Amino acid sequence: MKRHIEIGILYSRSGNYRLVSESCRAGAMNAIADVNADPVVPFEFIPVERDPQGNIDRYASGCADILANSGARHIIGCVTSWSRKEVIPILERAGGTLWYACPYEGFEANEHVVYTHACPNQHLVPLLAYVVPRFGADGFLLGSNYIWGWETNRVARDLIADAGGKVLGERYLPLGEVDVARLIAEVQATRPDFILNNLIGPSSYAFIAAYAELGRRDPHFRPERCPILSCNLTECELPALNGAGDGHLSVGPYFHDTSGADRGAASVSSVMPASSFEAAAYASVRTLAEILTRNPGAQWTDLPKVFAGTSFRTPLGDIAIDPQTQHATLPVQIGRIDGTSFKTVTLTKGVAPDPYLSRYDRTETFGRPRLRVVS
Amino acid sequence: MSKMARIPNLGGARAFVLHRPHPTVQAITRQLSAIGLEAIGFWPELPAEALAADFVFFDVDLGFDEQFPWKPGEAPMPLIALIGSEAPGRVEWALSHKADAQLLKPVGNAGVYSALLIARQSFEARKLLASEIASLRQRVAERQTIVRAVEVLSKGAEDGRAYAQLRSLAMSWQISVEDAARRIVAMTQEEGDDDQSDRA
């Protein structure tokens, strides 16, 4: 019989971002099933699960509970940056590791966290580099009122300035707010070239639906003229849009290939991940299993050594994890929404993480600034 | 003042860490490398090349003036004080070096990034202020020149109009009133010299 190793699962099964959270959880659970069925892996993962129910105050306690009352030292979990920041002090005190499988705003590199989804140089920077030459540089920035929206929009302001554009508006809604009439009126009045949508959950769905309605009244606001851009919208939320998102753009390390041609992902996972959240959570568990196969007692202190010079087979491709920042090297894909899936418009493989944008170069991103004719 | 720092391009910057070999140095080095800086540890003295560093972290607990290749308070880059014991004498010493930011020891998983940004911003602000003060001092020192230029321009007439004329000359030459005054005084001196040569 295989040895048992406990692994923490900390995903909300209800609340505003339930669709995302469930998608991550599905990836983690599928990976645990695959690991347990894999004859090469000398142990079985036993999930120790806590459900914070979308309540921010229950993440730290859930994390502490897992670390205190089970043998689990590794936790797969958290969706919002707020919840990640809540659990970090607990991880530091108890010597645990969080495997974080969601895109985030960057500017963090904690030794107790492994970041397996995209940071800004793998989402926002390439997305704006694609959009600006095709649609224009003037943007309207939206966000839910917490750190993801604030910080992503802050970077976007700088990028837009570097691209020679203007920020025509920046607005935040409380989490869960669905009254978007004011936002729509402001977007209509300012006529930007694109909208950067960092709203999450129901606020985002309400905005996208209202924007589709606006596009029917005024052709400027159709996706081919003024697209909505997202850095965290995946297949798992597309059903909630009922087609209103068609033609708009999102960026991520993975899109579910409905044609079944993605043999890479299919050969790794028994279930093709339905979204990048699912793929990244799956990748986290499989990577951890590979590490624990080689070194059953591996803890947070061992991780940088293990990451150096190793790559891991995952549905995201063979990925490396930078030992200095513990962020994954990932593919970057930009996709156009088409019903309940994405059509990939660009794909760049192997983009190394740069969570502090220390290597950001405006000329490389947006080309030489065009000189204006002044005479 | 110039606008707030944008995406702070810290990649490739060099930071010297003046601290005896200790886990504190490792913790700082790890954070610096993750942010994209090159970290160089030194103890007990900073080498000459530290003069070209972009940042210097220095130990306050065991530090002393002779460790630095500059006089206290004259560091040519942002300084970050590493404070363990908060003994008033030690804090006073750190202040004498005009530390731009501080980190409390033991250093954990965070703190370096904000210390870098705060140190850089307050260093830049301090430098800007110092250069403004220097230029104001210089302008104050030119009072005498202005009086002489007004004398030259007024040629015995009303001083108020002569001063207005000086200002409008400065404006059309696009230089400060002090520089314009110096130019006028210099011109009259040259004329004086010419007169003398004529006479010779």
DSSP string, B136-175: HHHHHHTHHHHHHHHHHHHTTS-HHHHHHHHHHHHHHHTS
Q: Choose the mutation target among B3, B6, B29 for the interface with A, i.e. most A CBs under 10 Å.
A: B6
Question: Distance between CA atoms of B4 and B88, rounded to whole angstroms?
Answer: 33
DSSP code of B30? H
Mean pLDDT of B100-113: 93
The amino acid at residue A155 is V
Q: Which of B6, B10, B108 sits opposite A358 (nearest CB)?
A: B10
| Chain A environment of B33 (Cβ under 8 Å) | 324
State what percent of residues in chain A have pLDDT above 70: 96
Q: In the predicted model, is pLDDT for residue A78 greater than 70?
A: yes
Pair B57, B80: CB distance under 8 Å:
yes
How does DSSP assign A150-168, residue by residue?
HHHHHHHHHHHHHTT--EE
Question: Distance between CA atoms of A41 and A294, rounded to whole angstroms?
Answer: 10
Per-residue pLDDT, B191: 72
Q: Indicate whether A87 and A221 sit together in one domain.
A: no
Q: Indicate whether A165 and A269 sit together in one domain.
A: no
Question: Distance between CA atoms of B164 and B147, rounded to whole angstroms?
Answer: 13
Exposed/middle/buried for B175, CB within 10 Å: 0-12, 13-18, 19+? middle
Give the count of domains, chain A.
2
Per-residue pLDDT, A293: 94
Q: Indicate whether A319 and A337 sit together in one domain.
A: no
Q: Indicate whether A132 and A249 sit together in one domain.
A: yes
Instruction: Check if B140 contacts A (Cβ < 8 Å).
Output: no
Note the pLDDT tens digit of each residue in A346-371. Answer: 999 999 999 999 999 988 999 866 55
In a domain, A15, yes or no: yes
A245/chain B closest Cα distance in angstroms: 31
Assigned CATH topology for domain B14-137? Rossmann fold (3.40.50)
Instruction: Check if B35 contacts A (Cβ < 8 Å).
Output: yes
Q: Indicate whether A181 and A280 sit together in one domain.
A: no
Q: Indicate whether A242 and A285 sit together in one domain.
A: no
Per-residue pLDDT, B21: 93
Q: Which residue of A has its CA nearest to B13?
A: A358
Q: Indicate whether A73 and A150 sit together in one domain.
A: no
Q: Which residue of B has its CA nearest to A110?
A: B109
Per-residue pLDDT, B109: 87
Mean pLDDT of A164-183: 95
Do A88 and B35 lie within an 8 Å CB cutoff? no
Other CB atoms within 10 Å distance of the CB of residue B116: 26
Do A358 and B33 lie within an 8 Å CB cutoff? no
Range of the domain at A210: 121-254+332-359
Give just the sign of the alpha carbon dihedral B29, A289, A104, A12: negative
Mean pLDDT of A303-332: 95
The amino acid at residue B20 is R
Per-residue pLDDT, B159: 77
Question: Distance between CA atoms of A333 and A350, rounded to whole angstroms?
Answer: 11
Q: Which of A324, A359, A360 sits opposite B33 (nearest CB)?
A: A324
Q: Indicate whether A229 and A167 sit together in one domain.
A: yes
Pair A355, A119: CB distance under 8 Å:
yes
Q: Which residue of B has its CA nearest to A112?
A: B109
Q: Indicate whether A343 and A243 sit together in one domain.
A: yes
Note the pLDDT tens digit of each residue in A23-77. Answer: 999 999 999 999 999 999 999 999 999 999 999 999 999 999 999 999 999 999 9
Which CATH number belongs to the domain containing residue A191 in this structure?
A: 3.40.50.2300
Do A324 and B34 lie within an 8 Å CB cutoff? yes
In a domain, A372, yes or no: no
Per-residue pLDDT, A267: 75
Instruction: Check if B9 contacts A (Cβ < 8 Å).
Output: yes
Note the pLDDT tens digit of each residue in B115-162. Answer: 999 999 999 999 999 999 999 998 888 888 998 898 888 876 777 888
Per-residue pLDDT, B196: 52
Would you call B122 helix, strand, or coil by DSSP?
helix
Question: Distance between CA atoms of A188 and A171, rounded to whole angstroms?
Answer: 14
In a domain, A279, yes or no: yes
Question: Distance between CA atoms of A24 and B57, rounded to whole angstroms?
Answer: 41
Q: Which of B35, B109, B113 sits opposite A111 (nearest CB)?
A: B109
A:105-144 residues touching chain B, CB 8 A cutoff? 107, 109-112
Q: Indicate whether A238 and A275 sit together in one domain.
A: no
Q: Which residue of B has its CA nearest to A327?
A: B34
In a domain, A367, yes or no: no
In a domain, A297, yes or no: yes
Lowest mean pLDDT among A319-328, B100-109, B152-161: B152-161
Q: Choose the mutation target among A88, A125, A327, A357 for the interface with B, i.e. most B CBs under 10 Å.
A: A357
E strand segments, chain B:
14-18, 38-42, 55-59, 79-83, 101-104
Q: Indicate whether A234 and A342 sit together in one domain.
A: yes
Phi, psi at residue B103, to the nearest 5°? -130, 135
Mean pLDDT of B50-75: 95
E strand segments, A93-186:
97-100, 113-115, 139-144, 167-173
Q: Indicate whether A71 and A196 sit together in one domain.
A: no
Per-residue pLDDT, B1: 37
Q: Which residue is associated with the tokens 């003042």?
A: B1
| Bond prior to A253 in cis (omega within 30° of 0) | no
In a domain, A98, yes or no: yes
Do A356 and B6 lie within an 8 Å CB cutoff? no
Do B7 and A161 lie within an 8 Å CB cutoff? no
Our separate counts of H helices and E strands in chain A read 11, 14
Per-residue pLDDT, A258: 77
Q: With b meaning 16 or more CB within 10 Å and e meaning fewer, what string describes A302-334?
A: ebbebbeeeebbbbbbebbbbbbbbbbbbbbbb
Residues of each domain in chain B carrying CATH 3.40.50.2300: 14-137
Per-residue pLDDT, B160: 81
Pairing label, strands A311-314, A330-338: unpaired
Per-residue pLDDT, B139: 87
Question: Distance between CA atoms of A211 and A244, rounded to whole angstroms?
Answer: 8
pTM attached to this predicted model: 0.84
Q: Tell me whether 0.95 is exceeded by the ipTM.
A: no
Confidence of residue A263 (pLDDT cuts 50, 70, 90): low
Instruction: Check if B29 contacts A (Cβ < 8 Å).
Output: no
